[in-house]
Amino acid sequence: MDFAGLKTDTDLSDTERRLDESEVREHPVFEYVRSLFRTSLSDDWPRFKLHINDGESSKSHAYLVGKPTFCPPELLGRGTRGYVAYECETGRFVWLKDVWRASYMLTKTEGEVLRKLNAAGVPHVPTLVCDGDVRDQATITADWRRAKSLPDGILRQHRHHRIVVEEVCMPLDKFRYGRQLIAVVYDCLPHHQAATNSETRILHCDISGGNILIYPKIVRVPEGQIPTVVWTGVLTDWELSRPLDSRMSRLTTKRNQGTYQFMSVSLLTRITKPVEICDELESFFHVLVYYAVHY
């Protein structure tokens, strides 16, 4: 694994700039991606080879990972861990998310949602590589929810799940100036609208600063001529998404889930109110104001 973390002469800086044609590769690797992978190969942390049996094609994919790049400090949650992973078959770097997903009727996995968005051509969302449950790993707490010793509450079964996407992004707080912040957030707005169109009709339901990421990519401007590194926005983490205007989707939970810090006032004051497009737009506004003031 160590060889994959070694810096090469062809690694690209993520700084927005024009490139020479000699710098353009079919599968470019940015310096920050290799650096994140190299940092994950810590001497005090084990390394793993993870096999994911794709739920769609039943094909097995192998990935090498070290220490998680992302691991939330909160005690409560879905146990999410994010890795910069090395794909054994192709030799490229990808993003691997390990999570305990909610498993109950009428819910779709994040992979199923991304597969639908990718098929519809919705840009600025992660590109799905594969996803699948870890065999025989599911919680049993929900099986005891009727026990007299437990207070009334919402208990759901969760399954151990892994999903891999092509884009290895940077957190939103890495923006370098105000115009860049606005451009990244704005990138996600029209494509959030595209996700709610007649073909997909999906609401994200967790618009937050942690789910709007920066993805440097090479584009050709103007009119496909000059290769240029441009920072774009990617709207990630669609695991809490729900079908738009679906009555059945409202029955899967008694209260809205998401990041309270960026929720609309209406959702915070009416916890059983279904998420609407206007709530999502207000969340985008809260993200922009928070990051503009805080950073």
- What are 75-125's pLDDT values in tens digits? 777 789 999 999 999 999 999 999 988 877 667 899 999 999 999 999 999
Q: What pLDDT score was predicted for residue 252?
A: 47
Fold (CATH) for 2-294: Transferase(Phosphotransferase); domain 1 (1.10.510)
What region, left, alpha or beta, does residue 87 occupy, with left being phi > 0 and alpha being psi -120 to 50 degrees?
A: beta
Q: Domain spans of the chain?
A: 2-294
- Of 85-94, 136-145, 199-208, which range is least confident? 136-145
Helices 277-294/178-195 angle, 10° precision? 170
Given a cut of 50, whether residue 196 has pLDDT beyond it is yes
Rounded percentage of the chain residues whose pLDDT exceeds 90: 59
pTM: 0.89
Q: What pLDDT score was predicted for residue 248?
A: 45
Give the 3-state secondary structure of the chain. CHHHHCCCCCCECCCCEECCHHHCCCCCCEHHHHHHHHHHCCCCCCCEEEEEECCCCCCEEEEEECCCCECCCCCCCCCCEEEEEEECCCCCEEEEEEEEEECCCCCCCHHHHHHHHHHCCCCCCCCEEEEEEEEEEECCHHHHCCCCCCCCCCCCCEEEEEEEECCCCECHHHCCCHHHHHHHHHHHHHHHHHHCCCCCCEECCCCCHHHEEEEEEEEEECCCCEEEEEEEEEECCCCCCEECCCHHHHCCCCCCCCCHHHCCHHHHHCCCCCCCHHHHHHHHHHHHHHHHHHC
pLDDT digits (tens, 9 = 90+) for 242-283: 888 755 445 445 556 778 899 999 999 987 788 889 999 999
Rounded percentage of the chain residues whose pLDDT exceeds 70: 90
- Of 14-18, 43-47, 69-73, which range is least confident? 69-73
The confidence band for 141, taking pLDDT boundaries of 50, 70 and 90, is confident
What average pLDDT does range 54-77 have in this prediction? Answer: 85
Distances, alpha carbon 226 to alpha carbons 14, 19, 167, 217, in Å: 17, 7, 23, 13
